[in-house]
Chains A and B, each alone.
Chain A
Amino acid sequence: MLGEREQDAIRSVLAGLEGDVDVKLELGPTATPVTLLAAGGREIDSNALTQEIVEAVCALSDRVSLSVVEHEEPGPWPRTTIGAGLEYLGMPAGYELTTLVHGILEAGRDAPALSAASLERLAAIDEDVAIDVYVTPT
């Protein structure tokens, strides 16, 4: 799944983990299915590919523990949850592999990697805020 150079790069990033990180991967039928095609027209199995990627990444650090849950009911699968609640819906492939790896790194930090000004602004939040970021893997 991952080449030697990618593995070395990811291993190097995850070596910076300051704490242990739990990763949970949830698989199952997608509630709003779409057909994804790879180059050449081959259909992509999102669940299977996501499992390959996430397992390969998590295996590169002793500080990262992975659990896999398979759902029978349709839902927003595949869903990867990093640490206490950083979520990623879909395949963390291509550029989004970086999101997965650095998301794990951020979750394993002792303190948030934000400026003092940002932390001060965030400390003033008194209502829940939900941020969704739509991305593509390339």
Chain B
Amino acid sequence: MLLAYKLALASPRVTARGIEASEFAVEADRHGVHAVPAIVVDDRYAWAGAVPEAVFVERVLAAAAG
């Protein structure tokens, strides 16, 4: 979660939100979330699991481009 926040602080183009999955279960289901942390980029499920900073950045950029 903190990596997403760091990206948002580093770029005015990036916004970041943490969402508690059990409280927002309808939204989590809509995004196909079955495990946490789950990362959704531009309203599309991207991946689940913690990854190092460099991988996180590349995956976010790839998901945004895709």
Listed in ascending order, the chain A residues whose CB lies under 8 Å from chain B are 30, 32, 34, 36, 46, 76, 82-83, 85-92, 96, 99, 102-103, 106-107, 109, 112-115, 117-119, 121-123, 125-137
Contact = CB atoms under 8 A, between A and B. Distances in A.
Contact of A99 (B2, B9, B41, B54): B2
28 contacts: A32-B24, A32-B26, A32-B27, A36-B23, A46-B23, A85-B15, A86-B9, A88-B19, A89-B20, A90-B19, A91-B20, A96-B1, A99-B1, A103-B5, A114-B7, A114-B53, A128-B13, A129-B61, A130-B17, A131-B8, A132-B18, A133-B4, A133-B37, A134-B21, A134-B33, A135-B20, A136-B21, A137-B22
A133 B22 contact: no
Contacts of B42: 129-130
B11 A89 contact: no
In this complex, which of A85, A117, A131 has the most chain B Cβ atoms within 10 angstroms of its Cβ? A131
Contact of B10 (A76, A114, A132): A114
Contacts of B57: 114, 118, 121-122
In this complex, which of A82, A90, A125, A126 has the most chain B Cβ atoms within 10 angstroms of its Cβ? A125
Interface in B18-66: 18-28, 31, 33, 36-43, 53-54, 57-58, 60-61, 64
Contacts of B26: 32, 34
Interface of B: 1-2, 4-11, 13-28, 31, 33, 36-43, 53-54, 57-58, 60-61, 64
In this complex, which of A36, A109, A122, A137 has the most chain B Cβ atoms within 10 angstroms of its Cβ? A122
A46 B61 CA distance: 34
A126 B64 CA distance: 11
In this complex, which of B15, B31, B54, B60 has the most chain A Cβ atoms within 10 angstroms of its Cβ? B15
> Closest 3 CB pairs between A and B?
A90-B20, A112-B10, A90-B23
